[in-house]
Amino acid sequence: MDVFRNLFLACSQSRWLRDRATRYAFVRRAVCRFMPGETADDALAAALALQQRSIGTVFTHLGENITDPGEADSVASHYLQVLDQIREMHLNTEVSVKLTQLGLDLSPELCYGNLDRVVTHAGSESLVWIDMEASNYVDVTLELARRARTAHPNVGVCIQAYLYRTAADLEKLIAMGMAVRLVKGAYKEPANVAFPHKADVDENYFALARKLVSEPARRAGVRAGLATHDLKLIRRIIDYAEAQSLSKSAFEFQMLYGIQREEQYRLAHEGWKSVVLIAYGSYWFPWYMRRLAERPANAWFVLRNLFAT
Ligand SMILES: Cc1cc2nc3c(=O)[nH]c(=O)nc-3n(C[C@H](O)[C@H](O)[C@H](O)COP(=O)(O)OP(=O)(O)OC[C@H]3O[C@@H](n4cnc5c(N)ncnc54)[C@H](O)[C@@H]3O)c2cc1C
């Protein structure tokens, strides 16, 4: 399975493949499983349907590693526009941004300016999540997230359980009352920075999740987003929460659009906070390859679509 994971992660970084694969209708049909569509209107319609099932949403406009300042500025402007549409439609929807899409590779200062525009426009009622990208971006991402959080109350950041450093990072984020989304991690990382074995990542996730919902974290005002589709882990977290008599609103489960849909509905139905991240946009290839890497069996959907009429 590691062979396939590595293969899809390598594909996610190939510009050559991205330029070609996205032209094929069967690849485009396969990606629909994880995306309601390429436009903000598609995402808004999906959010409305999920809201009717008591499920909150987070939007992310796909794109990363932008190298043109004008493009980074347009991405920020796009988020401002979407935030207005979310407000007009009274949706329980937040946004999640990638710093490399806001110009991080060009300059952290330019990126911070774009981030600040989005966070300011979102207003104190709506949190802006910051995605975590590959390990070489972790320091600068946390630095800009802390800077934004010092200036605004409505900022949260993603951390990855596969990194050895994350336990120490989490302590600091808890101390400042930052909202945190905990994930396992989606990038190809070497063994000197990340646990190479899945069982260790899962155990670390559970240990970090316990810290994130602990009494000191709740006292500091931390909002805890536990982002995973791992049913065994979700069961362990619920058992732990019940044993600790935590209220069902003490944390939230977050999943990706189209993955473990029944579980998303079940959690919401049982009164747990359930949130779905909806990705949309035309730059979906690297993101989709990371979804295939998480579950290589998803590649069958691509092949099935090749033969579908
Ligand atoms: C809301 C949200 C935000 C995220 N943000 C980031 C981020 O900012 N940075 C980052 O590095 N990663 C991010 N991720 C991805 C994350 O790091 C994992 O790669 C991804 O969630 C898969 O791990 P898992 O916890 O679901 O567990 P896994 O052990 O990988 O999966 C558990 C089970 O879930 C199902 N499943 C998992 N993934 C898929 C899939 N793609 N297709 C079909 N079934 C699947 C399978 O049944 C699998 O057995 C995010 C994930 C979510 C849910």
Token pair recorded at residue 41: 């209107």
Question: What pLDDT does 19 receive?
Answer: 76
pTM of full prediction above 0.85: yes
Question: What pLDDT does 302 receive?
Answer: 67
**Short-list 173, 148, 175, CA closest to 158:** 173
pLDDT surpassing 60 at residue 204 = yes
pLDDT surpassing 90 at residue 210 = yes
**Short-list 183, 208, 68, 205, CA closest to 131:** 183
Who wins on pLDDT, 164 or 188?
A: 164
Q: Are 94 and 60 in contact (CB under 8 A)?
A: no
| Residues 282-296, mean pLDDT to the nearest whole number | 82
Q: What is the pLDDT of residues 85-107, one digit of tens each?
A: 999 999 999 999 999 999 999 99
Question: What pLDDT does 307 receive?
Answer: 65
Rounded to an integer, what distance in angstroms lies between the CA atom of residue 50 and that of residue 265? Answer: 9
Token pair recorded at residue 221: 């005002």
Share of the chain above pLDDT 70, in %: 96
Q: Is the CB of 273 under 6 A from ligand 1?
A: no
The best mutation among 2, 200, 231, 256 to test binding of ligand 1, ranked by most ligand atoms within 8 Å of the C-beta, falls on: 256
Q: Which atom of ligand 1 is nearest to the CA of 184?
A: 17
Computed over every residue of the chain, the mean pLDDT equals 93
Distance 27 CA to ligand 1 centre (A): 20
Exactly one of 116, 149, 169, 181 is catalytic; which is it?
Answer: 181
Q: Whose CA is nearest to atom 29 of ligand 1?
A: 230
- Quickly count: other Cβ atoms within 10 Å of residue 198's Cβ: 14
Q: Are 227 and 183 in contact (CB under 8 A)?
A: yes
Placement of tokens 């937040």 in the chain: 94
Confidence of residue 175 (pLDDT cuts 50, 70, 90): very high
Q: Is the CB of 60 under 6 A from ligand 1?
A: no
Confidence of residue 305 (pLDDT cuts 50, 70, 90): low
Exactly one of 116, 131, 169, 230 is catalytic; which is it?
Answer: 131
Q: Is the CB of 227 under 6 A from ligand 1?
A: yes
Rounded to an integer, what distance in angstroms lies between the CA atom of residue 41 and that of residue 47? Answer: 10
Question: What pLDDT does 36 receive?
Answer: 92
Q: Are 83 and 127 in contact (CB under 8 A)?
A: no
Distance 184 CA to ligand 1 centre (A): 7
Q: Does the annotation mark 131 as catalytic?
A: yes
Burial 64-89 (b: 16+ CB within 10 A, else e): bebeeeeebbebbebbeebbebbeee
**Short-list 55, 36, 122, CA closest to 268:** 55
β-bridge mates for residue 166, sequence order: none
Token pair recorded at residue 66: 């932008």
Distance 189 CA to ligand 1 centre (A): 16
Q: Which own/partner pairs from 165-170 qualify as long-range (CB within 8 Å, at least 24 positions apart)?
A: 165/138, 165/193, 166/204, 166/208, 167/204, 167/207, 167/208, 167/211, 169/138, 169/142, 170/208, 170/211, 170/212
Q: Which atom of ligand 1 is nearest to the CA of 292?
A: 41
**Short-list 208, 257, 263, CA closest to 230:** 263
| Residues 190-195, mean pLDDT to the nearest whole number | 97
Question: What pLDDT does 66 receive?
Answer: 86
The best mutation among 33, 183, 289 to test binding of ligand 1, ranked by most ligand atoms within 8 Å of the C-beta, falls on: 183
Question: What pLDDT does 22 receive?
Answer: 75
3-state secondary structure of 97: strand
**Short-list 164, 156, 157, 114, CA closest to 135:** 164
The best mutation among 94, 159, 229 to test binding of ligand 1, ranked by most ligand atoms within 8 Å of the C-beta, falls on: 229
Share of the chain above pLDDT 90, in %: 76
Who wins on pLDDT, 223 or 29?
A: 223
Rounded to an integer, what distance in angstroms lies between the CA atom of residue 60 and that of residue 281? Answer: 9
Helices of type H across the chain: 2-12, 15-21, 25-31, 40-51, 69-88, 108-122, 138-151, 166-175, 198-212, 215-219, 231-243, 261-269, 285-294, 299-307
Question: What pLDDT does 309 receive?
Answer: 47
Q: What is the pLDDT of residues 14-67, one digit of tens each?
A: 877 777 777 777 777 777 788 998 899 999 999 999 999 999 999 999 987 888
Q: Does the annotation mark 23 as catalytic?
A: no
Q: What is the pLDDT of residues 237-281, one digit of tens each?
A: 999 999 999 999 999 999 999 999 999 999 999 999 999 999 998
